[in-house]
Chains A and B, each alone.
Chain A
Amino acid sequence: MIRLVGILVGLFFAVMAAWAFFSGAYTYFSEPTAETAEHVFHEEAHLPQGGYSFDGLAPRWDVAQLQRGYKVYKEVCSACHSLNHVAFRDLEELGYSEAQVKAEAASWMVPGIDPNTGEANLRPGLLTDYFPAPYANRVAAAAANNNAVPPDLSLMTKAREHGTAYVYSLLTGFRDPATYTNEDGETLAQAFPDSMPGTGLHFNPWFANLNLAMAPPLHTAGQVTFDDGTEASVKQMSTDVAAFLTWTAEPSLVDRIRLGWMVFGFLLFATVLAYLAKKSVWSQLKSRRDD
């Protein structure tokens, strides 16, 4: 009885799935779906040439690079993007002394309360403060940016596929849609005239929708002056700020992998021991047969 009911239930689901398959297959071949602009023009993210010091299995932070990246964030990105999860005290990990971090914190104005009047005010930041957001709320952020809220950057390299490579590719990826050609030698205007960027949008093949509200933020060499004398090309600034955002997203990255190797070493040793123990125990069994 169970088997009979089972066969009927099984046939029901199988027939329904097959029915859906045939009607889907019919539509698929009779009305092939058109290619979308995103399919044809979206580009895979890539890392800058030379990669990063924190890549791979022996990572380290390039402190000078993180400091440069921080400067790019402070002078360019922070105009629109918050960094909610990062506190000023965290900057000590970038190789600054405590005094330097205190001075750095004090250079930011954060929301506070006037101790005399109780009124909301702005005061210089302290070590324990978090980076202040550029806008009071989402509505203000949307109103100031053509209705697109600039996302928080703390976790950006973990919140997008390809992380660091994505940030780098996006920052260096703004193109003129009139002249940019894809692999097939077509321009966006030729292939998908409807997908041309509208007013206030900017074409960037590394962005999922191809057109984004953010104007190229890093556009001119020397936009930021690096304290260590590194030449501030657009590529250099993008490389460094992507590194900085990798650190903000995963400050434990280097410690984690270093600890991982120690754990791994211990476990390899333990595995060998466990194997030998198993072998030794089972060798006592030999060929016992007592029936």
Chain B
Amino acid sequence: MSFPWAKHYEPSNPLMKFLDEKLPLPRLVYNAIGAGYPVPRNLSYFWNFGVLAGFCLVLQIVTGVVLAMHYAANAGVAFDSVEHIMRDVNWGWLMRYAHANGASAFFVVIYLHIFRGFFYSSYKAPREMIWLIGVVIFLMMMATAFMGYVLPWGQMSFWGAKVITGLFGAIPLVGEPLQIWLLGGYAPDNAALNRFFSLHFLLPFVIAGLVILHIWALHLPGSSNPTGVEVKTESDTVPFHPYYTAKDGFGLAVFLLIYCAFLFFVPNALGHPDNYIPANSLSTPALIVPEWYFYPFYAILRAFTHDLVIPFTTVVIMPAKLIGVLAMFSAILVWFFLPWLDKSPVRSGHYRPLFRKFFWVLVIDMAMLFWLGGQHAEEPFIMLSQLATAYYFLHFLVILPIVSSIERPEPLPFSITEAVLGNDGKAVLPAASAA
């Protein structure tokens, strides 16, 4: 792996030499995030979000492990144990708010990371595997976050668990038994709470393992870059350390400023007041919604209000609920196929005039879905989410394949160095052959 001009790890300290012989862990770090990893010199701040996501994962694991020392996963006392953490545990309120807002921060970072991938087509060869693992990580994060939100056992925890596990009930034939099996009962109760806690503790470590695979797969071809032109010579790259450790350090500091503003000044702004009411199976909240980071997919789920019937009859082929569930899962599954749906040889959106326009439509569409997912299930929100949902699927499955085959890309720079320092007289390659 890596480029021939990558620096080599040559320990001079006897202890480090000894370690390098017996267990070359420092060498691994040196080659992964040290001077031994050459990285394109032109990465913008949009390339900070991978490191930030890694930071969020560690933050969540550390605060989560501390919270688990004081939390009691029992439907009778879970709510009270969270309040015990908030009131009686030393710095418990800080740990809990850091964890709750940390989940939101993690998703903000991940969404930006994913949309960076959309714009710069980071999913294209030779980086398909990085992308595929990334989508799996995102799915695992969603499962983890959902189960974490159930743990405080407030009203939204309980009803969220009921609605989300209810989705499995839409599957034909096996749906209802499957739902009962998942919950360990007919409704969310102690059995469900306990398994959610167990999995909520386990999955972050699975994610950590996947992150290692994600980074491993990344280090084979190396990082992509804003031009989408592959690295050609040494002057196209800089060593990760100190260049990107310094740049990521600054990005991390800015991230922490924003995160701490939420954590200390408005820690409940992203939550729902209903979750400060203990779970009550006899009282349904007026509005059941998941946490904000699930809103786009929740909006897609609720957009399908019409059964698929044989025209001019009342024979139902597929009930609306099933289509909604399929659409919600497909909305993420479709990301898996991006490397094969988008066949343009040019990666970066900077050189793809038509793709670029549709990318911004997608951003607006996603913003609308974010907004609509949190609204009451009433008009005009349903109609708007139906339009936004239709565009979402058209974008990935219809527009992207067509645009990528009819588009005429703009000329690419000859090299990364040229993109940074200006044309030095070398010929500009025609776009199609530059890939």
Residue of B nearest to A273 (CB): B253
**Does B401 touch A at the CB level, under 8 Å?**
yes
- Cross-interface CB contact of A263 among B260, B286, B320, cutoff 8 Å: B260
Residues of B within 8 A of A256 (CB): 93-94, 97, 264, 267
**Does B58 touch A at the CB level, under 8 Å?**
no
In residues 212-237 of chain B, which contact A (Cβ within 8 Å)? 232-235
- Cross-interface CB contact of A268 among B80, B232, B257, B306, cutoff 8 Å: B257
Does B265 lie within 8 Å of A260, measured CB to CB?
yes
Residues of A within 8 A of B233 (CB): 290-291
Dominant SS among interface residues on chain B: helix
Does B334 lie within 8 Å of A20, measured CB to CB?
no
In residues 378-408 of chain B, which contact A (Cβ within 8 Å)? 378-380, 382-383, 386-387, 389-391, 393-394, 396-398, 401
Does B397 lie within 8 Å of A9, measured CB to CB?
yes
Residue in A16, A33, A260, A273 with the greatest tally of chain B CB atoms within 10 Å: A16
Q: Give the size range of B's interface with the partner.
A: 35 or more
Residue of B nearest to A14 (CB): B390
**Does B341 touch A at the CB level, under 8 Å?**
yes
**Does A172 touch B at the CB level, under 8 Å?**
no
Does A267 lie within 8 Å of B257, measured CB to CB?
yes
Interface-located stretch among B14-22, B128-136, B268-276, B348-356: B268-276
Minimum CB–CB distance from B167 to chain A (whole Å) comes to 16
In residues 83-105 of chain A, which contact B (Cβ within 8 Å)? 84-85, 90
Supposing A10-B398, A11-B398, A17-B303 touch, asked if A260 and B260 sit within 8 A by C-beta, the answer is yes
Supposing A158-B273, A277-B250, A289-B424 touch, asked if A14 and B394 sit within 8 A by C-beta, the answer is yes
**Does A114 touch B at the CB level, under 8 Å?**
no
Supposing A18-B390, A159-B274, A289-B424 touch, asked if A264 and B341 sit within 8 A by C-beta, the answer is no
**Does A151 touch B at the CB level, under 8 Å?**
yes
Does A13 lie within 8 Å of B327, measured CB to CB?
yes
**Does B277 touch A at the CB level, under 8 Å?**
yes
- Cross-interface CB contact of B83 among A7, A85, A160, A267, cutoff 8 Å: A85
Q: Mark A264-279, 1 if CB is under 8 A from B, else 0.
A: 1001101101110110
Does B249 lie within 8 Å of A274, measured CB to CB?
yes
Dominant SS among interface residues on chain A: helix
Residues of B within 8 A of A229 (CB): none
Interface-located stretch among B32-40, B173-181, B239-247: B239-247
Does A20 lie within 8 Å of B80, measured CB to CB?
no
- Cross-interface CB contact of B273 among A11, A24, A25, A161, cutoff 8 Å: A161
Does A16 lie within 8 Å of B308, measured CB to CB?
yes
**Does A57 touch B at the CB level, under 8 Å?**
yes
- Cross-interface CB contact of B378 among A6, A33, A57, A208, cutoff 8 Å: A33
- Cross-interface CB contact of B234 among A251, A264, A285, A290, cutoff 8 Å: A290
**Does B153 touch A at the CB level, under 8 Å?**
no
Q: How far is the CA of A151 from the CA of B280 in the complex (A)?
A: 12
- Cross-interface CB contact of B401 among A6, A25, A257, A267, cutoff 8 Å: A6
Residues of B within 8 A of A161 (CB): 273
Does A270 lie within 8 Å of B253, measured CB to CB?
yes
Closest 5 pairs (CB-CB, A-B): A10-B397, A260-B264, A21-B386, A159-B276, A20-B306
* Given A14-B398, A274-B246, A287-B421, 5 extra CB contacts under 8 A: A6-B341, A21-B387, A21-B390, A24-B383, A155-B276
A-B contact pairs, 9 of them (CB 8 A): A3-B340, A11-B398, A16-B304, A249-B276, A257-B264, A267-B260, A277-B249, A278-B250, A288-B235
